[in-house]
Structure 1
Amino acid sequence: MDFTNPLVYGVPCFIAFILLELTYSKTHGDDHLYEWKDLFASGAMGIGSAIIAPLVKVVSAIVIFEYTFEFFNPLVDGVRTNIMGYESFGYAWYVWLLCQLADDFTYYWFHRANHEIRILWAAHIVHHSSDNFNLGTAVRNGWFTILYKPLFYMWMPAIGFPPEMVVVALGIEALWQFQLHSVYVPKMGWVEKIFNTHTMHQVHHAQNVEYLDKNHGGFLNIFDKLFGTWKELDDDIDVKYGVIHAPNSYNPLVILTHEFKDIWNDTKKSPKLTHKLMYIFGPPGWSHDGSTMTVKQQQRLFREQKKKNPAVAFSRPN
């Protein structure tokens, strides 16, 4: 069967909705929702991703996913049979649902890893580097993330999901993620018991200490709730978007590489190999001398401060 990635049709919609939200914000007094230089920087990152993504798709979908599927699901008497002994999955409607659920589970751990492993964070921080939260920010994607993302999904064709089905599931996930980047959609009641919504994604993009590394889910929030990373938006907290170690530049190349440069500089702070490896593969904020803190350390300190002073409602990360 031949399936087209939904993103082929999504890109024109992305542009249309960005322009619609931009126009609405400017005509309704929200002049600071979009900043022109920031929007152009996000657009440049998005264009780069759009150019690179099809090239990577050839490697991921045709080579990696296809090879993995063929290797773990060889033809046995004309039937695709998984090496575990069962017949590989077909295209029944429930298989599509299971594939989408498997995709969301994978996306959760892929996304969480991007926040908890510094070398991956260096690629992903591009998406969080804007101080604005809007549909323009949704296309502000790091180019290097595309290179290793397929590796997280290889298990899906390995257990029997057809490669093209996995690609479609990835496209659907990306479409959902795009539309989450809007402040104009309020809390959605019962929908928020199951799905990842706009207010939850506002939490994810916030640099408030209590919001850091929360809500990694794709279109569902069940895995955040299962694994302890879910956080609801508190109406009493003034949300501050972006990252404290921002690139402070609208230059796409600076936005793309600044965290890698910081990693390189940090590895030179200690001669010990273990320290160097931690600066690369440890959590962001880790330091051998305690001069900076990880998210968990910041949140632990924040909770201690809040116990002493309940009025503490907002703190920025180190």
Structure 2
Amino acid sequence: MNFTNPLVYGVPCFLGLILLELTYSKHQKKEEKKSLYKWKDLAASLTMGVGSAILAPLTKTIAAIVLFSFVYDLFNPIIDGVRMNIMGYESFGYAWYIWILCQLLDDFSYYWFHRQNHNVRFLWAAHIVHHSSDNFNLGTAVRNGWFTILYKPFFYMWIVAIGFPPEMLVVCLGIEALWQFQLHSVYVPKLGIIEKVFNTHTMHQVHHAQNFEYMDKNHGGFLNIFDKVFGTWKELDEEIEIKYGVSHPPNSYNPITILTHEYKDIWSDMKKSSKWQHKFMYAFGAPGWSHDGSTLTIKQQQKILDANNKL
């Protein structure tokens, strides 16, 4: 069966909703209007969004047609006219409950893909692009790094390996992206009982905050269950004023600088030590790791804070 990626229809909606939010923000009080959208920042976000839209079809063709299809055929060969998984069961079809199960597995994979983007510095160098704006709006939602899509499929290929059709997974990936886009709005308040299950707008505000207590929280896609199970969930405290962005911003509206600044910082840090294990950790350890303690990871800082609070 052939399916159309939902993002084909989503892109025009993205632009329309950005324009709608931008227009609405201009009719709010002056201080809010200034903080929600900045023209240069929006231009940088849209430029990177357009770049992603151009690159995505190329990389997704490789992922869907080559990688996913290769893995699917390898682990689900056709035997006597029936596609069978190597574990001995028949590969999955297109029943409605299979779609729901595939979306849940996609959400599980998204959680770990997203979390590792924050825990592995080389991956963070690609993902930091999305967090580099100090504005939180629907324009920021399309501010995507161009290099993330090169490794993202590897977090999902296990789903086709166990028997889900590649085109089903691609559709689920598109639906996940649509949900993630609309989360980037400050105009949606807490949603009551919905917040018990789903990842919502206020939870995603927490995720984009650089407030110390909010860092590395709420990595979920649709659901917040995986954040709660694996200890990364944090509810928005409306008494805390959120500061969006990252601790070490690119300080530039140049898209090339935004896309590459963290890679340059990694290279600079790797030259601080002659030991190969230190160089490796600067590239693949958690952001903030240092061989001499001159900078600390979020977990290291949190341990120190917890220890001080116990004194």
TM bin, normalised by shorter chain, reads: over 0.9
Match of 1:161 among 157, 161, 164: 164
Give 1:16-27 correspondences, 5 Å limit. Answer: 16-27=16-27
The gaps in structure 2 that reach 5 residues or longer are: none
Match of 1:178 among 158, 176, 181: 181
- The aligned counterpart of 1:256 is 259
| Post-superposition offset of 1:304 | 4.2
| Post-superposition offset of 1:303 | 3.5
Cα distance in 2 between the residues matched to 1:22 and 1:301:
41
Determine whether 1:116 maps to 2:102.
Answer: no
Cα distance in 1 between the residues matched to 2:153 and 2:6:
17
Cα distance in 2 between the residues matched to 1:307 and 1:234:
23
- The aligned counterpart of 1:242 is 245
Superposed CA offset, 1:252-300 (max 9, x none): 0000000000000000000000000000110000000000010101222
The runs of 4+ residues in structure 1 deviating greater than 6 Å are none
Superposed CA offset, 1:216-235 (max 9, x none): 00010000000000000011
Determine whether 1:28 maps to 2:31.
Answer: no
How large is the RMSD of aligned CA atoms in angstroms? 0.9
Q: TM (normalized to structure 2)?
A: 0.98
Cα distance in 2 between the residues matched to 1:120 and 1:176:
22
Match of 1:67 among 59, 62, 70: 70
- The aligned counterpart of 1:137 is 140
Match of 1:56 among 52, 56, 59: 59
- The aligned counterpart of 2:196 is 193
- The aligned counterpart of 2:279 is 276
- The aligned counterpart of 2:149 is 146
Q: Which amino acid aligns with 2:277?
A: T
| Post-superposition offset of 1:307 | 5.5
Q: Which amino acid aligns with 1:56?
A: T
Match of 2:92 among 86, 89, 94: 89
Q: SS where residue 152 of structure 2 aligns? A: helix
Q: Which amino acid aligns with 2:16?
A: A
Superposed CA offset, 1:1-27 (max 9, x none): 110000000000000000000000011
Percent of paired sites with the same residue: 75
| Post-superposition offset of 1:28 | 1.3
Give 1:95-110 correspondences, 5 Å limit. Answer: 95-110=98-113
| Post-superposition offset of 1:305 | 4.8
Superposed CA offset, 1:122-160 (max 9, x none): 000000000000000000000000000001111011000
